[in-house]
Amino acid sequence: MTIKPFIRAAKATALAGIFFTGFSLAEAGELVVEQAWARATPGKAANGAAYVTLVNHGANDILIGVESAVAKKTEIHTHTKKDGVMRMTPAGPLELATGATVTFRPGGLHIMFMKLHAPLKEGEMVAFTLIFENAGKQPVMAKIMSVGAAGPEMSHKHGHQMKKSD
């Protein structure tokens, strides 16, 4: 029995947006999303956030946007400190050089869901799409963790490969 049929099946499933645990499906020439997660929103909070780690195993690319049906508006945001006050601000296009790893985390880069249509509930999943200049639109599913979660609950990585959209 060879491992090739398993790898082909894993790749096909990953492209369909299902995450695997314990390993990454990265190959040379690809972008990979790892550890996609979001925080549950308390009460009737209007906004929510999601986080990912992007690993570029391929050619230079640029993350130019994000979209999601869970909110009226979805943007890439970051935190900046001005006059001793932390503020959230939209982040411009994000360059991903070959070999780069960029981690979105609380207090830094994040996916901002503004004017949520419904609360983000712990244990559920939230869908969003990362939009790259070269790789095109790439769907992501993130597990929703607790309101105060500092990171994904599992220490291993969840990943799926992204290939240029046709």
What is the CA 80 to chain-centroid distance, rounded? 20
pLDDT in tens, the chain (166 residues): 443 333 333 343 343 333 333 223 333 348 899 999 999 999 889 999 999 999 999 999 999 999 999 999 999 999 777 788 877 788 979 999 999 999 999 989 999 999 999 999 999 999 999 999 998 999 999 999 999 898 886 433 444 444 444 4
Dist. CA 73–CA 132, nearest whole Å? 18
Helical (H) or strand (E) element with 95: strand 94-96
Q: Could you give all domains of the chain from N- to C-terminal order, each with its CATH number?
A: 4-162 (2.60.40.1890)
- Degrees to nearest 5, angle at CA 101 with 32 and 13: 10
Is residue 85 within 8 A of residue 56, CB to CB? The reply is no
